[in-house]
Amino acid sequence: MEKERILSGMRPTGRLHIGNLQVLENWCRLQDDYDCFYFVADWHALTTAYDDTLNIKNNIREMIADWLAVGIDPAKSVVFVQSKILEHAELHLLFSMFVPLSWLERVPTYKDQVQQFKEQGKDIMTYGFLGYPLLQAADILIYRANAVPVGEDQLPHVEMCREVARRFNFIYRRVFPEPRAELARIPLLPGIDGRKMSKSYDNEIGLAADTEEIKRRVNAMITDPARIHKTDLGHPEVCVVHKYHEIYNLKQLAEIEEKCRAGKIGCVACKKELMVTLDALLAPIRERKQEILSRPGYIDEVLQEGIKTARHEAAKTMTLVREAISI
């Protein structure tokens, strides 16, 4: 039987952090069961960083190196850059001719992000930002993907993509499947200050962080504010360090939690255990990334092959689209 197709991507807005790791590990698991297309969404990066493009090219290379270091296999998955496949833009344009403006205005994240950036002194009320969910739909449908791995916050975008496919198929003729959301059960990993992990908050731990960075970042983590002395009874449910133990230190979790509540382990010792755990987790990724970056031309070879395959598939879809629209 032919495998179903998966499509997913990431924006190259900065270095990847440990919060991205579980997403990438999920992508790796999907490689054996699906026909996977993974892309760097560089056009999407422009929706909020249109005035800061200097580092995009380098970010793309770093991101691809991270993907490969975690385990994305170019022999199993198509790895490519969005802007190298112009059919994405063509399909986005054609979709914009029949998608109602109200569909874009009702996307939950639109007003929220406009307000967030306004508070930071930046205006992102542009045509491109309003239309980015439609570009996402084109990204997915150009490969006629059957499923899209997403977190819960992206469900409205996948539903809109399904509506776009449905509307096209109704107005013209059936070309597109209605892709389903492949909901990834990925726990939210907070930044070291308890807020959402983000480069803009400077609260992240880099995916390729070295031992010193891990030590520095873990030492800065917010712990139980009620604990002044080591023997004070702890409340692990309010501690950022404990949230990391819940994800990365399951074998020792019950013991750590019990000691914390009983005042038998201090925050310094608890952080040291987390440092060791995170360093052991990230060290192989760090080493593989360095090996990948030391191979001249390797990333270019991976992208050239991926772009070739992506172009071929996108061209097939656009032939069907043009025939359906009669242009």
| Per-residue pLDDT reduced to its tens digit, 261-310 | 999 999 999 999 999 999 999 999 999 999 999 999 999 999 999 999 99
What pLDDT is stored for residue 1 in this prediction? 66
pLDDT digits (tens, 9 = 90+) for 17-71: 999 998 999 999 999 999 999 999 999 999 888 888 999 999 999 999 999 999 9
Taking the C-alpha atoms of residue 221 and residue 312, their distance in angstroms, rounded to an integer, is: 47
Of 312, 318, 306, 316, the residue nearest 93 (C-alpha): 318
pLDDT surpasses 80 at 121: no
For tokens 């030391």, what's the residue? Answer: 294
Taking the C-alpha atoms of residue 268 and residue 272, their distance in angstroms, rounded to an integer, is: 6
pLDDT surpasses 90 at 145: yes
Q: Residue type for 294, please?
A: S
What pLDDT is stored for residue 47 in this prediction? 87
CA distances in angstroms from 74 to 156, 288, 300, 309, 311, listed in the order given: 30, 15, 12, 11, 16
Q: How confident is the model at residue 138 (pLDDT cuts 50, 70, 90)?
A: very high
CA distances in angstroms from 270 to 156, 192, 194, 245, 259, listed in the order given: 39, 14, 17, 9, 10
The total of other beta-carbon atoms located within 10 Å of residue 219's CB is 13
Domain boundaries, the chain: 5-189+296-325, 208-290
Order the strands of the 77-81 sheet from edge to edge. Answer: 77-81, 35-40, 5-10, 147-150, 180-183
CB distance 161 to 137 below 8 Å: yes
Q: What is the DSSP string of 49-114?
A: HTT--TTHHHHHHHHHHHHHHHT--TTTEEEEEGGG-THHHHHHHHHHTTS-HHHHHT-HHHHHHH
What pLDDT is stored for residue 125 in this prediction? 77
Q: H-helix or E-strand containing 38?
A: strand 35-40
CB distance 145 to 6 below 8 Å: yes
* Average per-residue pLDDT for the chain: 93
Query: The CATH number of 208-290 is which of 1.10.260.40, 1.10.240.10, 3.30.70.120, 3.40.50.720?
Result: 1.10.240.10
CB distance 66 to 38 below 8 Å: no
Q: How confident is the model at residue 8 (pLDDT cuts 50, 70, 90)?
A: very high
What pLDDT is stored for residue 316 in this prediction? 98
Of 241, 237, 239, 234, the residue nearest 260 (C-alpha): 234
pLDDT surpasses 90 at 112: no
Give me 174's structure tokens: 């059936």
pTM (predicted TM-score): 0.92
The neighbouring-strand residues paired with 149 are 182
Taking the C-alpha atoms of residue 224 and residue 234, their distance in angstroms, rounded to an integer, is: 7
CB distance 6 to 147 below 8 Å: yes
**Could you confirm whether domain 5-189+296-325 is CATH 3.40.50.720?**
no
CB distance 321 to 175 below 8 Å: yes
The mean pLDDT of 222-244, rounded to a whole number, is 90
